[in-house]
Amino acid sequence: MVEIVQNPVIAPKRQHRNVETKRKLVEATLVPGASVARVARTNGVNTNQLFTWRRLYLAGRLGEAQESTKLLPVTLQPATSASSWGAPGTIHIKLAGAQIRIEGSADVGLLRTVLKLLRA
């Protein structure tokens, strides 16, 4: 006989820590002789999460990036007219039983690749 036991798995609530708390935890791991795993366990934080915060901290991206973000000025150039790009045309190629017709502006690299394939 098989007995089925159903125990619902209840996920723990996600904990949100502010930047100041994250920085303090990371700084505790930077003390000589400190264990990241021990600091994480003592404070109820996942060790991998603390390593991620530590990596961000050491890169200067844990909390400071938001404070020092600056916007750069942007200038817009007037749109160029279609005539400056050249008039669209049509290219019609017949080679050894194959025909290619390209309308509009042709991409040189793509055209070169197609012609190489036709020669092969």
Q: What is the pLDDT of residue 65?
A: 47
Residue 53 buriedness (CB in 10 A; 0-12 / 13-18 / 19+): buried
Q: What is the pLDDT of residue 38?
A: 97
Residues of the chain by 3-state class (helix, strand, coil), percent to 5 = 40, 10, 45
Domain extents in the chain: 19-67, 89-119
For the stretch 10-52, pLDDT in tens is 777 778 899 999 999 999 999 999 999 999 999 999 999 999 9
For the stretch 48-71, pLDDT in tens is 999 999 999 999 998 754 555 677
